[in-house]
């Protein structure tokens, strides 16, 4: 099993890889569109997503710009650094960044929770982790943003409607190409 530790055959590595890619997505969005507010961005079975509150519709053209910025971030090989803050400082930190969804998440954590963040370059996000040690571990040419759909904050139709960007990421470009070909073929044969 040791030889497969850093491959997608290891579910823990696959999840960590995709979760790190969701943070790269959020960093790319904030670089290009600083006014966008962050919600959540987990790894999922077939990739990852991140929810955003944007004052504009995220179009296919915008997704292309974001994807290009993600590739730049991967090439920058930014170190991911974990740190913790006490509850009051964590809330103040996210309030200063004008991230209301993150403030709400922190406020909902238990009083004794360890509130952790991950920093990569100029970007910091509230997150329990784990993550890869560098954005350079993610292969920029093996990332594809696949869709943008509406999503309710915390799954509640009475709350804000956010925009959810979905993506896939693989350790090698040929794996991405094979996945995209299979998905395309599947959609054509339905």
Task: Quote the CA–CA distance of 73 and 34 in Å, as a whole number.
Answer: 16
Secondary structure letter of residue 177 according to DSSP: H
The pLDDT confidence band at residue 113, using thresholds 50, 70 and 90, is confident
Plot region of 80 (φ>0 → left; ψ -120 to 50 → alpha; else → beta): beta
How confident is the model over 64-102, as pLDDT tens digits? 999 999 999 999 999 999 999 999 999 999 999 999 999
Span 32-54, average pLDDT:
96
Cα distances from 139 to residues 6, 70, 132, 170, in angstroms, run 13, 10, 12, 7
How confident is the model over 116-125, as pLDDT tens digits? 999 999 999 9
Q: How many residues does the chain have?
A: 190
Look at residue 56 and tell me whether its pLDDT is greater than 50.
yes
Number of H helices, E strands in the chain: 5, 8
pLDDT of 68: 98
111 or 124, which is more confident? 124
Secondary structure letter of residue 74 according to DSSP: H
Contact 135, 122 (CB under 8 A): no
Look at residue 190 and tell me whether its pLDDT is greater than 60.
no
């Amino acid at each position: 099993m040791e030889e497969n530790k850093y491959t997608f055959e290891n579910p823990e590595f696959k999840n960590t890889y995709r979760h790190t890619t969701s943070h790269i997505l959020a960093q790319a969005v904030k670089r290009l569109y600083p006014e966008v507010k962050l919600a959540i961005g987990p790894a999922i079975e077939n990739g990852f997503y991140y929810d955003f509150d944007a004052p504009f519709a995220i179009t296919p053209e915008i997704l292309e710009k974001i994807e290009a910025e993600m590739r730049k971030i991967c090439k920058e090989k930014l170190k991911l650094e974990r740190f913790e803050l006490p509850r009051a400082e964590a809330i103040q930190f996210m309030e200063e960044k004008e991230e209301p969804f993150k403030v709400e998440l922190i406020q909902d954590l238990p009083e004794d929770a360890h509130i952790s963040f991950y920093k990569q370059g100029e970007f910091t996000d509230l997150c329990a982790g784990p993550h890869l040690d560098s954005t350079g571990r993610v292969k920029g040419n093996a990332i594809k943003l696949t869709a943008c759909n509406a999503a309710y904050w915390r799954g509640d139709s009475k709350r804000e409607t956010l925009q959810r960007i979905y993506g896939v990421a693989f350790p090698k470009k040929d794996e991405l190409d094979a996945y995209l070909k299979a998905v395309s073929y599947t959609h054509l044969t339905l």
